[in-house]
Amino acid sequence: MRVNSVDPTVVLTDMVTSQEYMDNLVGHPGATEEEVRNHYLQRNVLPTPWIEARDVANAALFLASDEARFITGLGLPLDAGAMLK
């Protein structure tokens, strides 16, 4: 039996681009997607503010594939390098 996890950072979804989320994150009403983008760009090592759902799916597919048959107990961070900062 293998047990692994995929641990994503912010994934570009409708929740992340909702006005309520952006206002709370940036700290004022009427926050823009550009402000949110800049906020996350400062957190990541890689030059991307967030990851896409397909990145999470591809990581899960890899861990479920025969290519990862000897990998177990892994928490795979998909964080664009945020944990390195």
Query: What are the distances in angstroms from CA 17 to CA 2, 10, 49?
Result: 35, 11, 12
Tokens at residue 29, please? 């009403």
Q: Which helix (H) or strand (E) holds 77?
A: strand 75-78
Per-residue confidence (pLDDT) for residue 25, from 0 to 100: 96
User: What confidence tens digit (pLDDT) does each residue in 66-79 have?
Assistant: 999 999 999 999 99
pTM, whole model, 2 decimals?
Answer: 0.83
d(CA 1, CA 76): 17
Q: Is pLDDT of 85 > 90?
A: no
- H or E segment to which residue 35 belongs: helix 33-43
Question: For 31-55, what is the mean pLDDT?
Answer: 95
Span 45-65, pLDDT tens digits: 999 999 999 999 999 999 999
Nearest Cα to Cα of residue 55 among 13, 2, 3: 13
